[in-house]
Amino acid sequence: MFLINCPYCGERDQAEFSCGGEAHIARPKNPPDLTDDQWAEYLFIRKNDKGLHYERWNHAFGCRQWFNLARNTATDEILAVYKMGDKPPKLYANVPITPSGEPDIGSGNLSTSKKK
């Protein structure tokens, strides 16, 4: 259970929030000009990164405000919280050394992976 620092209310339990998925996917300004593939890209295609991930959260059982949050999906560390419209901060994350590997610490799968 995360402790999320709502930019409007402060630290609250994750149960008060809902996640809106990947952030910074702008709705195209010219939908009629897009191909079906391009529209599908906007609608459905997601980065789904293992590691640093920018996403939207809503303080649903609080101020009802949406905001952005940067999280390491390989460890669930929350790295930054910032308001809608703000630019994503450049961050360092304790990401896996190999793409589908596990980070040095904080992984859910640590104890089964053999490190050499």
Q: What order of strands is seen across the sheet that includes strand 77-83?
A: 18-22, 52-58, 66-72, 77-83
Of 84, 86, 89, 91, the one binding other proteins (CB under 8 A) is 84
Q: Which of 10, 90, 92, 98 binds other proteins (CB under 8 A)?
A: 98
Q: Which of 6, 70, 75, 93 binds other proteins (CB under 8 A)?
A: 75
| Token digits of residue 69 | 């949050």
Task: Please report how many Cα atoms fall inside a 13 Å half-sphere around the Cα of residue 97, on the Cβ side.
Answer: 4
Choice from 8, 18, 86, 88 touching other proteins (CB under 8 A): 18
Q: Indicate whether 85 belongs to the interface with other proteins (CB under 8 A).
A: yes
Phi, psi values for residue 42, rounded to 5°:
-65, -45
Per CB under 8 A, 53 contacts other proteins: yes
46: contact with other proteins by CB under 8 A: yes
Long-range contacts of 82-87 (CB under 8 A, 24+ apart): 82/7, 83/7, 84/56
The residues binding other proteins (CB under 8 A) are 1-3, 13-15, 18-22, 26-27, 31-32, 34-37, 39-50, 53, 55-56, 58, 60, 64-66, 71, 73-76, 84-85, 98-101, 104-114
